[in-house]
């Protein structure tokens, strides 16, 4: 399949120690290439699929770091702009012992936010098999949202499908406004990849089964519910499948959900049955957390197959 994606490209600079707040002097490590759609695109390319990316970086070393990493891993970067008047986006992050994170973003006024509807070319997007939409990218600013809606229009015009990861960030926008902005994407999506909290945002329902039924009634065929260390659950109108997680030692959880989405679409591209698609996606997400840096754990297909084979032999 050929999959398109657009959104924020940034570097991530993280606290070296756990439980060290961002508001005090301390040490950082990085920069690491990052941005939710970039992590997804890089992982999917590593898994062997064709990926086209629309985004923007500054004419600086951080921008070069990101673009070269994507290019080396096989992403089509011809849709990425280099902007001399803007700096590349940056996210500062710290991790806490309870598994939570806190971010400070420089995105909307950086090159990351300079994505416009005219950057979405009809001749490219009408020939995509899938458009993958990230909620965080839609919420950057008004022109980014308009660019996504244009991409959606062109992909559907060409007969392509849409997958949607809400990737909701309370730091960027409130729940009610996010639900309102996400509705056009939800209605047109074939696959949705929410966490439990994001599912509640989309449905305004607390009960997970009722929330899934409510979202599926709006048009999607599949909800792949990301549940972290508990694995994932796939919902369709015909039933649901609970897919257990693969046990790994977690080093850095950032990007695991993005890599899960990449693994899921790779499984669909291979024509696997849905439970096997979920198993592949869980394996990709598990491997993603085993290295420090948001993209560094993104595995190649051979690595995933060997990992699943080793665990299968142990069972």
Asked if residue 278 belongs to a domain, the reply is yes
Other CB atoms within a 10 A radius of the CB of residue 187 amount to: 12
The tokens describing 19, both together, are: 């439980």
Asked if residue 60 belongs to a domain, the reply is no
pLDDT in tens, 232-289: 999 999 999 999 999 899 888 888 999 999 999 999 999 999 999 999 999 999 999 9
pLDDT in tens, 143-186: 999 999 999 999 999 999 999 999 876 555 677 777 888 888 99
From 73, 119, 165, 258, active-site residue: 258
Asked if residue 64 belongs to a domain, the reply is no
CATH of residue 164 = 3.40.1190.20
Asked if residue 113 belongs to a domain, the reply is no
pTM of structure: 0.92
Measured distance CA(76)–CA(152) in Å, rounded: 19
Asked if residue 95 belongs to a domain, the reply is no
Asked if residue 103 belongs to a domain, the reply is no
pLDDT in tens, 101-140: 888 888 878 999 999 999 999 999 999 999 999 988 988 8
Asked if residue 243 belongs to a domain, the reply is yes
Residue 143 domain boundaries: 2-7+36-55+75-80+118-304
Active site residue 258: yes
Asked if residue 105 belongs to a domain, the reply is no
| pLDDT for the residue numbered 205 | 87
Q: How many domains are there within the chain? A: 1
């Amino acid at each position: 399949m050929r999959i398109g994606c657009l959104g924020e490209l940034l570097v991530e600079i993280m606290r070296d120690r756990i439980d060290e707040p961002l508001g005090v002097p301390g040490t950082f490590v990085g920069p690491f290439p990052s941005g939710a759609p970039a992590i997804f695109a890089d992982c999917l390319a590593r898994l062997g699929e064709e990926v086209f990316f629309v985004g923007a970086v500054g004419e600086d070393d951080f921008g070069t770091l990101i673009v070269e990493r994507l290019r080396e891993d096989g992403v089509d970067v011809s849709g990425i702009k280099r902007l001399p008047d803007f700096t590349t986006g940056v996210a500062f992050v710290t991790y806490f012992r309870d598994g939570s994170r806190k971010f400070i973003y420089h995105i909307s006024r950086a090159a990351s936010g300079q994505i416009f509807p005219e950057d979405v070319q009809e001749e490219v997007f009408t020939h995509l098999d899938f458009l993958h939409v990230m909620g965080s990218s839609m919420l950057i600013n008004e022109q980014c949202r308009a660019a996504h809606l244009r991409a959606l229009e062109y992909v559907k015009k060409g007969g392509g499908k849409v997958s949607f990861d809400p990737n909701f960030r309370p730091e960027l926008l409130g729940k009610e406004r996010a639900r309102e902005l996400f509705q056009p994407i939800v209605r047109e999506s074939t696959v949705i990849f929410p966490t439990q909290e994001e599912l509640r945002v989309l449905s305004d329902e607390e009960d997970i089964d009722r929330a899934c039924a409510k979202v599926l009634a709006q048009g999607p065929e599949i909800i792949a519910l990301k549940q972290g260390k508990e694995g994932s659950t796939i919902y369709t109108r015909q039933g649901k499948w609970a897919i257990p997680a693969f046990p790994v030692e977690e080093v850095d959880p950032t990007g695991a959900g993005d890599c899960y989405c990449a693994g899921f679409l790779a499984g669909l591209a291979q024509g696997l049955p849905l439970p096997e698609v979920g198993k592949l996606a869980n394996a990709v997400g598990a491997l993603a957390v085993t290295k420090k840096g948001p993209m560094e754990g993104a595995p190649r297909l051979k690595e995933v197959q060997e990992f699943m084979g080793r665990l299968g032999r142990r069972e």
